[in-house]
Structure 1
Amino acid sequence: MPTPVASRALALLMSATLLVSGCSAPTDPTPDPSQPQPSTAWQIPDGSTAHELRVGDLDRTYRTYRPKNLSETRPAPLVLVLHGGAGSGRQAENSYGWDAQADTGGFLVAYPDGVGRSWNVGPGCCGPAARDDVDDVAFVKSVIAAVSQGAPLDPARVYVTGISNGGMLAYRLACDTTLFAAAAPVSGTLIGDCPRPAPLSILHIHGTADRSVPFDGSPGKRHNGGTGRIPLNLDGPAVPDLIASWRATDNCPAPTSTASTPPPAKGGDTGEESAKEVVTRLTADCPGSRTVELITIAGAGHQWPGAPGPSQAAIDLLDLDPPSTALAATPTIWQFFANH
């Protein structure tokens, strides 16, 4: 078992939100079981449901959410939401508002659980999943295949988002699979190589004051070089460079930049406080109706923008970042997905 100090180090990888914690259908007559196989009938019940799945030598778990108003006849989109380090599928479901967004948008949600509350995303990252060399790419493929057996899933509208360690897994999936029409990492980065990625729409959201996964690519505050029982290799590329690499992959033109300042909170400060939360969008519209977009929030830390956040006492005690109120990440991400 990890020592209390090691466990606390992993927990601190996440921000405040943790504590409130395109492919086409297969044509082969014997299709790959890891690929989405649309079901002809609904077997996934309404509401939130827990599931178990055997992948290799491991028993894995995940949750699904099915809106009551989802069409019984039309194939549904699927959004995978990947928790961060020290999080869980249930925590992600409770923290980020995706169930309510699914009710409005008409799609399924899946919340996979990492081994030891962590994901293996590349050399030395992160936590028990990396230490034990867990194949989380195979697990996510299996989750999508299992969901598609229980629901009439549209394989051309499968999307992935995640925060921190989960955002890193979203990038790993974008590099190593062709299952997704779009990916939206939040406060994440790419760990390891990505030599031959397929073109993909990418939306990346990041705070410029993130200390756990720094915007400039410097090692995060809990970086330990990927060593020990809780390996944390938090040393990815600078976020602008990472996004530039995806623009190259998608053969995009030069991006356009827009900036906005959110209105001050009712009864709150004006001017100076609002300027600290300027939201900048760097957007490239690319061939194949793809988009590569980077949204930065000036002064924001390692968090899911728009989430409720933990108590002030928890923020102070554990040195966490409160979620920004300048952007509501969940509806922003869903709109991006719906457009792709």
Structure 2
Amino acid sequence: MTVGHRVLGAVLTASLLVVTTTLSGCATRDEPRPVLPSGTESRTIDVDGTSREYLVHVPDRRAAEATLVVFLHGGFGSAAQAEFAYDWDEIADRERIVVAYPQGDGAAWNAGDCCGTPARRSVDDVAFISAVVAELQAELGVAPSRTFATGMSNGAMMTYRMACDTDMFAAIAPVAGTVVTPCDSPPPASVLHIHGLDDERVRYDGEPGSGATRVDGLPVDDVIALWRAADACQDPVVTHLPPLTTTRSSCADGRVVELITISGAGHQWPGAAGRGLSDPDPASSAINATETIWDFFDDD
């Protein structure tokens, strides 16, 4: 073989490698996202060397626009208890959305000044929940505009901490919680807050609550004012339909800040079926919080 032939052979080989590599790259980019099995799956995820757990519920068919709701259980609760008690799987199957249930360390969340072992040990629950959201957004193709969070009690406090420390949720809906972490200028987000006016565990007026944790956070009115300022809201419209009072503000960029209070209701998830609850007080029948929250998210 002459030198010229050897050079030509090398050029052809190099060209073939380039074409092969390019085609392979196209195949990789065009691969469909993995199809998650329907039903509830238990998962683990590594967060800074620590293995954390969460459940994810996937409907038989997903809507064309992928949606993710993250539910954070209350103190002394669990991911499995929350899935069983609050009917979010029913919403997921009906509306073809995905719901994730992260598991708190020691049955609680480090929401700031509360609660329990996670707060004392400075567990980084912000990193954990952020990792869960990032993993599912990547797998499902969920846009930030269709990523939401809700929670009960200590889970509601953790929901607020996520909204204070990150901008990953388009809307949040805490129930029977408050802000117990520094949060002077939260990123804009739509907020629906539901609270019983007779809640002695997380008091509406911000005074220390009853129970072992003695929750001492912001008064709920101050929490709502914080997000009205962050969202550049208009003056609220107040509607009284006893025992409910709804205060709703329209805000910049289509956001909404809404507060629903329930006269005579304690520390509970309104409308819950009563099975597997960690809530200390009977559930109010004035509204169904799960349905109300989903309507709020879906309209966001």
* Alignment TM-score, normalising by the size of structure 1: 0.76
1:247 pairs with 2:236: no
Q: In the alignment, is the contact (CA less than 8 A) between 1:171 and 1:190 conserved in 2? A: yes
Tell me which residue corresponds to 2:57: 65
Q: In the alignment, is the contact (CA less than 8 A) between 1:69 and 1:106 conserved in 2? A: yes
| 3-state DSSP of counterpart to 1:166 | helix
Residue 298 of structure 1 aligns to which amino acid in structure 2? S
1:296 pairs with 2:272: no
- What does the per-residue CA deviation read over 1:89-141, in whole Å, with 9 as the maximum and x for residues that have no partner? 11110000000011222211000000000100113x11111111100000011
Tell me which residue corresponds to 1:114: 104
Tell me which residue corresponds to 2:6: none
Tell me which residue corresponds to 2:196: 207
Tell me which residue corresponds to 2:237: 256
Question: 1:167-316, aligned counterparts within 5 Å?
Answer: 167-222=156-211, 232=213, 234-261=215-242, 278-309=243-274
Tell me which residue corresponds to 2:283: 323
Distance in 2, Cα, partners of 1:239 & 1:55: 32
Give the superposition deviation at 1:151. 2.0
1:50 pairs with 2:42: yes
Distance in 2, Cα, partners of 1:237 & 1:178: 21
Residue 111 of structure 2 aligns to which amino acid in structure 1? V
Tell me which residue corresponds to 1:104: 94
Give the superposition deviation at 1:143. 0.3
Give the superposition deviation at 1:174. 0.5
Q: In the alignment, is the contact (CA less than 8 A) between 1:156 and 1:180 conserved in 2? A: yes
Unaligned regions of 5+ residues in structure 1, if any? 1-38, 224-231, 262-277
Give the superposition deviation at 1:244. 1.3
- Of Structure 1 and Structure 2, the greater helix share is in 2
2:66 to 76, 98, 103: 76
Distance in 2, Cα, partners of 1:310 & 1:320: 12
Give the superposition deviation at 1:154. 2.5
Root mean square deviation of aligned Cα: 1.8
Question: 1:89-100, aligned counterparts within 5 Å?
Answer: 89-100=79-90
- What does the per-residue CA deviation read over 1:256-312, in whole Å, with 9 as the maximum and x for residues that have no partner? 111224xxxxxxxxxxxxxxxx1110000111000000000001000100002259x
Give the superposition deviation at 1:40. 4.2
| 3-state DSSP of counterpart to 1:137 | helix
Distance in 2, Cα, partners of 1:154 & 1:75: 9
| 3-state DSSP of counterpart to 1:49 | strand
Q: In the alignment, is the contact (CA less than 8 A) between 2:85 and 2:275 conserved in 1? A: no
Q: In the alignment, is the contact (CA less than 8 A) between 2:68 and 2:148 conserved in 1? A: yes
Identity of aligned residues (%): 47
Residue 274 of structure 2 aligns to which amino acid in structure 1? G
| 3-state DSSP of counterpart to 2:146 | strand
Distance in 1, Cα, partners of 2:280 & 2:80: 20
Distance in 2, Cα, partners of 1:145 & 1:294: 29
Distance in 2, Cα, partners of 1:299 & 1:245: 26
| 3-state DSSP of counterpart to 2:238 | strand
Tell me which residue corresponds to 1:337: 297
Q: Which structure's relative contact order is higher, taking Cα pairs within 8 Å and 6+ residues apart?
A: 1
Distance in 1, Cα, partners of 2:238 & 2:220: 15
Higher radius of gyration, 1 or 2 = 2
Distance in 2, Cα, partners of 1:289 & 1:145: 25
- What does the per-residue CA deviation read over 1:179-221, in whole Å, with 9 as the maximum and x for residues that have no partner? 0100000000000210221111000000000010011111010
Q: In the alignment, is the contact (CA less than 8 A) between 2:60 and 2:96 conserved in 1? A: no
Q: In the alignment, is the contact (CA less than 8 A) between 1:46 and 1:68 conserved in 2? A: yes
Give the superposition deviation at 1:75. 4.0
Number of matched pairs:
270
Distance in 2, Cα, partners of 1:222 & 1:40: 50
Residue 36 of structure 2 aligns to which amino acid in structure 1? I
Q: In the alignment, is the contact (CA less than 8 A) between 1:310 and 1:322 conserved in 2? A: no
Unaligned regions of 5+ residues in structure 2, if any? 1-30
- What does the per-residue CA deviation read over 1:56-112, in whole Å, with 9 as the maximum and x for residues that have no partner? 1321000001111214xx341100000000111111100000000112222110000
Distance in 1, Cα, partners of 2:274 & 2:103: 21
Distance in 2, Cα, partners of 1:156 & 1:236: 29
| 3-state DSSP of counterpart to 1:309 | coil
Tell me which residue corresponds to 1:35: none
Distance in 2, Cα, partners of 1:253 & 1:149: 35
Tell me which residue corresponds to 1:22: none
